[in-house]
Chains A and B, each alone.
Chain A
Amino acid sequence: MFRTALRNVLAHKGRLLMTMLAVMLGTAFVAGTLVFTDTMGQALRTQNSKSYADIAVTVSDSEAVGRGYDHGGRTAAGPTLTEDTRRKLVTLPGAADVRGVVSGFAGIADHKGALIGNGFSTTGTNYVPGADGTDPRYPLVAGRGPKDAGEIALDTRTAEKGGFKVGDTVRVAVNGPVMQLKLTGTLHTNDPRVTAGGSLAAFDTATAQQLYLSPGRFAELDVRAAPGTDDTALLAAVRQALPQGDNLKAKTGRELADEQDRMIAQGTRILSTFLMGFAAIALFVGVFIIANTFSMLVAQRTRELALLRAVGATRRQITRSVKVEAALVGLTASVAGLLAGIGIALGLKALLNGPMDANLPDGPLVIAPTTVLAAIAVGVLVTLVAAWLPARRASRIAPVAAMSSSEQPATQKSLRLRNTVGLLFSLAGAAALAAGASGKEVKLVGLGAGALLIGVFVLTPLLSRPLIALFAPLLRAVYGTPGKLARENAVRNPRRTAATASALTIGVTLITSLTVVGASVNKAVDDSTSSDLKADYTVAMQNFSDLSPEVAAQIAKAPGVSAMSTERSVPVTIDRGQDRGRGAGDGENEFLTAVDAATIDQLATVRIREGSADALEQGKLLVSSGRSEQARYKVGDVLAVTYPDGSKGSLTVGGVLEANTALAPVLAPEAVVGPHAQPGSGLEKVLVKGTNGATEQLKQALRDATGGNPLIAVKGEKDIKAESRQAVTNILNMMYGLLGMSVVIAVLGVVNTMAMSVFERRREIGMLRAIGLDRLGIRRMVRLESLLIALFGGLVGVGLGILVAWAGVRTLADDLKGITTVVPPLQIVCFLLAAAVIGLLAALWPAHRAAKLDILDAIRSE
């Protein structure tokens, strides 16, 4: 039977082409993902081990690391790493050298004052000259390292982007006004944060300490070992020498590199899982096409298979021959898919390093044996699973069918069982969806959506007739007989039409639901921004780090400002005693947001649900409804708090607020809690109301007040809305791109079905040509059928997508106040149009073939 199967594959090469392409694309997605993430992971790890190569032991101060982002919100309690500590470590036996490191962020402005690179990946550090006067971490490309507070060195790419040359003045800012520094040199770095769109600014150590910590303090001490020193012994010595404190951690460079390796592995695993999800969707779409093809092939070969049965082949042998055929198809396509996947990985790398400017580290392509196995196993398995039902059907062909006429069996097996199963699934899915939507259970919604999708797919044959009939009058009126024939053909084999359309439905459902959720989120953000925020402008750091208090002071003095308030985060611990059934003493952490009690109601809409609107002015707290439920704060509660400066006090909950996106969960009057906070810390945002509203002059005045810091964003209502829209658009575009593969596979499915149908119906086509339908008519008939199938798939997809999106939006109701389902009509129409275009394009080749058929050959064919 193996030989029969092989012969069949070879004989039906053409008819199997689309199926093979579908499997190939699916496995290419899998292989591409694996190869790409492995390659990237390997390159990152190689680079990682290089960057820790010369560090034997490293000591870090957890209270100082990342201080550039978080200016003293936390209480500094432990010992610090100072120049003294550093000197002490140098004298340890085996230590060759100790480098004190300080790091944070630093925004570099271009000539127009705009930030170079991505705000979240700007990095700043201290330049530590070694014995030769250069810092081995950052090899000099030009000039020299910075030596005093007026100097700076930049990584070469940032210098290039800004058009800076050694000797130029560079505008740099941390969290306060811009500094004008002289560029002394350009550096080379492999830090992935920098190479992937960030920037690196190197200051001399004293300046960096001033900017990020405090004079003489380091965030990290890196110990280099003398040759022949045992890292572990050195680590022990370092631990001995260090002052005692939980915030100081010593590790060997090897440990640190391993830690980083684990993080890289985790990162690539997340990326790989994410991409694999889309690969799975693509393969799922492929299943429909494979199943369809094998069903058609089995139906076309009914007589041949019956003949095999008649001459003595057992059912099992027939089934096996179809399965072997499927396995051969799967294997061939998977191998091609593996190769294509490697190509995709190469292309992706080139794309990211080229036009996308992501500058991934270089490294060899990694094709792991597991990748090869996984891609081939997935391709073969998917094909086998998809061909399972057709194979079973083949075995049921009675030997007597060999003797019957060549006519295709016109009677269809009843769809009753199928419809019952589909209906049950759909109902269960819809019920779960509704329950999940009302109970805001994301998991239940997901489960319901899945069951509903499966149910509807099972029901598609039933749906095909009425939905396609919708178009019948239009088709007849515009296209006459070809239109009518197209419609009849589209519903003549409901299973085939359903499987073809379903492949497209999957993609359209996902795209529609994402689009609807996106539009709903946009609308909700727009609405809440309009209704919640009264301030004309908000001023905040682009990377969500804290503003310098100087910025607030400057804004208060800016012309055209009628009211302003800072939003300052003050971490406190609350001792709730034993009355809440919790252990006393430990306390709970809470972040108070200190605002100006007098002006806040001019800057944001303060809607009181319970309690007093004057709470803040009375020195009490205002708590959001969400936080009040979560932490069980009630109006009148008196909270015993411990402030960051160690002092204790009591605060009363004065009111509960309706949800407001512009306000933090727990508001406190600045006048009461401000004095107990770390001086100059926690300034998250400044809200500003203008005398004349939101004007360009005010915006410029605020920009001036920030000292031109490119990292500080001054945003009006419009900017906030646009930013949110942009974020949604970016996510959607990425998803659309990743779902593109499934749509391409679905298109192949339509091509496949139409080509097979034309092949099966060539005698009819010959007859139609003989009795007077011209080539255009034939072409139209095929194209319109394809159009109908695609539109049908699109319609079901749009409907399902909107339903799933509705449920999804309901679950978001807690996070986005007032979110309602928004169906953007234009986009939905575009999706349907796209489905129609897909249908027409998919039919180009089959229609051409149908029109080209030789009448006499066609009529004579069996």
Chain B
Amino acid sequence: MSFPATAVRTGLAAARATGLNKVYGEGETRVVALDNVSVTFPQGEFTAIMGPSGSGKSTLMHCMAGLDTVSSGSTTIGDTELVGLKDKQLTQLRRDHIGFIFQAFNLLPTLTALENITLPMDIAGRKADQAWLDRVVDTVGLSGRLGHRPSQLSGGQQQRVACARALAGKPDIIFADEPTGNLDSRSGAEILSFLRNSVRELGQTVVMVTHDPVAASYADRVVFLADGRIVDELHAPTADTVLDRMRRFDAKGRTS
């Protein structure tokens, strides 16, 4: 079963991978993490990437976000081809065009919430768009806690700061790596609604790696990976349809 170019829809692509291969090691220890993956993440869409452990979903995200190099193939953010870019150019691309949300929040403990949010712009030496910033802060519900340091915030609040940080610079695309992995279900639900709202109301593009069917159900589309290949996709998923699809992987895994 394979889903090649059919996954590519019309409309402007925020990020696109074509024939992506990622191989680790050589000889005996050779592992194919990504096997000829082509996928498009259109603008204004919330996509979830799912798959069992070791399916290559994180690797795909890292390669497309310019955090990891690819063995062959092509991957673009907007019009920019990532393959062949130097470290400095990649860094600038991430800084100016990509937002990141990590599982472990990854805030700087020495900075206040607000300083953490504006960090990417501070690094770039840009001034934040105040109106946008206010809107983002308001949406994530942090208005009263901007002066707090991460250690004074709960896990959910910290992750909301991380979301605001990803959004503040109006990136072309936001990559979220298991953003609810370290959160309780209520905080997790808040973050997921917030991500969905940022797509629906603020017109952002979000790509989220997760193994949680409930989290995936917040997305517009779910892309399934197995053994380094895209094996399926679901539009307008619900937790049940995702879970159902996942069970089939398991079943196939057991029978094969």
Residues of A within 8 A of B (CB): 408, 410-411, 480-481, 484-485, 488-489, 492, 763-764, 766-775, 777, 855-856, 859
Apart from A771-B165, A775-B91, A859-B104: 17 A-B pairs, beta carbons within 8 A: A410-B149, A481-B123, A484-B122, A764-B106, A764-B108, A767-B108, A768-B119, A770-B67, A770-B94, A770-B100, A771-B123, A772-B95, A772-B120, A773-B91, A773-B95, A774-B91, A774-B92
Q: Does B7 contact A (CB under 8 A)?
A: no
A-B contact pairs, 23 of them (CB 8 A): A481-B122, A481-B123, A488-B111, A489-B110, A766-B106, A767-B106, A768-B119, A770-B67, A771-B95, A771-B100, A771-B120, A771-B165, A772-B91, A772-B96, A773-B123, A774-B87, A774-B92, A777-B123, A856-B67, A856-B68, A859-B102, A859-B104, A859-B106
Residue of A nearest to B107 (CB): A767
A772 and B109 in contact, given A410-B151, A856-B67, A859-B102 (Cβ under 8 angstroms)? no
Closest 9 CB pairs of A and B: A772-B95, A488-B110, A410-B151, A767-B106, A774-B91, A481-B122, A481-B123, A771-B120, A772-B94
- B110→A480 contact, CB < 8 A: no
Q: Complex: how many Å from CA A859 to CA B95?
A: 16
The DSSP consensus for interface residues of chain B is helix
Q: Complex: how many Å from CA A480 to CA B121?
A: 11
Q: Complex: how many Å from CA A69 to CA B233?
A: 107
- Expressed in whole angstroms, the minimum distance between the Cβ of B163 and any Cβ of chain A is 13
- A492→B94 contact, CB < 8 A: no
- Expressed in whole angstroms, the minimum distance between the Cβ of B168 and any Cβ of chain A is 11
- Expressed in whole angstroms, the minimum distance between the Cβ of A854 and any Cβ of chain B is 9
- Expressed in whole angstroms, the minimum distance between the Cβ of B2 and any Cβ of chain A is 28
- Expressed in whole angstroms, the minimum distance between the Cβ of A764 and any Cβ of chain B is 6
Contacts of A763 in B (CB 8 A): 104, 106
Q: Complex: how many Å from CA A772 to CA B88?
A: 9
Contacts of B104 in A (CB 8 A): 763, 859
- B109→A769 contact, CB < 8 A: no
Q: Complex: how many Å from CA A855 to CA B100?
A: 13
- A856→B62 contact, CB < 8 A: yes
Q: Does B124 contact A (CB under 8 A)?
A: yes
- A772→B111 contact, CB < 8 A: no
Q: Does B144 contact A (CB under 8 A)?
A: no
Contacts of A480 in B (CB 8 A): 122-123, 125
A775 and B106 in contact, given A410-B151, A481-B122, A856-B62 (Cβ under 8 angstroms)? no
Contacts of A774 in B (CB 8 A): 87-88, 91-92
Q: Complex: how many Å from CA A767 to CA B123?
A: 13
Contacts of A768 in B (CB 8 A): 108, 119, 123
Q: Complex: how many Å from CA A480 to CA B118?
A: 13
- Tally of B interface residues using CB under 8 Å: 29
Q: Complex: how many Å from CA A831 to CA B143?
A: 47
Contacts of A766 in B (CB 8 A): 106
- B108→A485 contact, CB < 8 A: yes
Q: Complex: how many Å from CA A111 to CA B220?
A: 101
Contacts of B91 in A (CB 8 A): 769, 772-775
- Expressed in whole angstroms, the minimum distance between the Cβ of A239 and any Cβ of chain B is 85
- Expressed in whole angstroms, the minimum distance between the Cβ of B97 and any Cβ of chain A is 9
Residue of A nearest to B109 (CB): A410
A771 and B94 in contact, given A480-B122, A488-B111, A489-B110 (Cβ under 8 angstroms)? yes
Contacts of B92 in A (CB 8 A): 772, 774
Contacts of B106 in A (CB 8 A): 763-764, 766-767, 859
- B88→A485 contact, CB < 8 A: no
Contacts of A772 in B (CB 8 A): 91-92, 94-96, 120, 123-124
Contacts of A856 in B (CB 8 A): 62, 67-68
Residue of B nearest to A406 (CB): B104
**Contacting A771 at CB < 8 Å: which of B87, B119, B150?**
B119
Q: Complex: how many Å from CA A855 to CA B175?
A: 15
Contacts of B68 in A (CB 8 A): 856
- Expressed in whole angstroms, the minimum distance between the Cβ of A805 and any Cβ of chain B is 37
Contacts of A859 in B (CB 8 A): 102, 104, 106
Which residues 74-94 of B have a CB within 8 angstroms of A?
87-88, 91-92, 94
**Among B65, B104, B150, which residue has the most Cβ atoms of chain A within 10 A?**
B104
Residue of A nearest to B65 (CB): A770
**Contacting A767 at CB < 8 Å: which of B102, B122, B124, B125?**
B102
Q: Complex: how many Å from CA A411 to CA B150?
A: 11
**Among B102, B106, B110, B165, which residue has the most Cβ atoms of chain A within 10 A?**
B110
Q: Complex: how many Å from CA A410 to CA B150?
A: 9
Q: Complex: how many Å from CA A403 to CA B161?
A: 25
Q: Complex: how many Å from CA A767 to CA B87?
A: 15
- Expressed in whole angstroms, the minimum distance between the Cβ of A582 and any Cβ of chain B is 74
Q: Complex: how many Å from CA A450 to CA B44?
A: 68
Q: Complex: how many Å from CA A859 to CA B94?
A: 15
Q: Complex: how many Å from CA A768 to CA B96?
A: 13
**Contacting A492 at CB < 8 Å: which of B65, B109, B123, B165?**
B109
Contacts of B165 in A (CB 8 A): 771
Q: Complex: how many Å from CA A488 to CA B91?
A: 23
Contacts of B88 in A (CB 8 A): 774-775
Q: Complex: how many Å from CA A484 to CA B94?
A: 21
Contacts of B95 in A (CB 8 A): 771-773
Q: Complex: how many Å from CA A481 to CA B122?
A: 6
Q: Complex: how many Å from CA A432 to CA B102?
A: 57
Contacts of A770 in B (CB 8 A): 65, 67, 94, 100, 102
- Expressed in whole angstroms, the minimum distance between the Cβ of A55 and any Cβ of chain B is 77
Q: Complex: how many Å from CA A770 to CA B61?
A: 13
Residue of B nearest to A491 (CB): B110
Residue of B nearest to A411 (CB): B151
Which residues 95-145 of B have a CB within 8 angstroms of A?
95-96, 100, 102, 104, 106, 108-111, 119-120, 122-125
Residue of B nearest to A776 (CB): B88
Q: Complex: how many Å from CA A670 to CA B256?
A: 123
Q: Complex: how many Å from CA A856 to CA B22?
A: 15
**Contacting B87 at CB < 8 Å: which of A408, A485, A775?**
A775
Contacts of B110 in A (CB 8 A): 485, 488-489, 492
Q: Complex: how many Å from CA A488 to CA B104?
A: 21
- Expressed in whole angstroms, the minimum distance between the Cβ of B170 and any Cβ of chain A is 14
Contacts of B87 in A (CB 8 A): 774-775
**Among A410, A766, A777, which residue has the most Cβ atoms of chain B within 10 A?**
A410
Q: Complex: how many Å from CA A172 to CA B119?
A: 81
Contacts of B123 in A (CB 8 A): 480-481, 768, 771-773, 777
- Expressed in whole angstroms, the minimum distance between the Cβ of B251 and any Cβ of chain A is 31
- Expressed in whole angstroms, the minimum distance between the Cβ of B254 and any Cβ of chain A is 29
Residue of B nearest to A492 (CB): B110
- Expressed in whole angstroms, the minimum distance between the Cβ of B136 and any Cβ of chain A is 15
Contacts of B100 in A (CB 8 A): 767, 770-771
Contacts of B62 in A (CB 8 A): 856
Q: Complex: how many Å from CA A624 to CA B229?
A: 102
- Expressed in whole angstroms, the minimum distance between the Cβ of B159 and any Cβ of chain A is 13
Contacts of A855 in B (CB 8 A): 67
- Expressed in whole angstroms, the minimum distance between the Cβ of B220 and any Cβ of chain A is 25
Q: Complex: how many Å from CA A42 to CA B185?
A: 80
Q: Complex: how many Å from CA A481 to CA B88?
A: 17
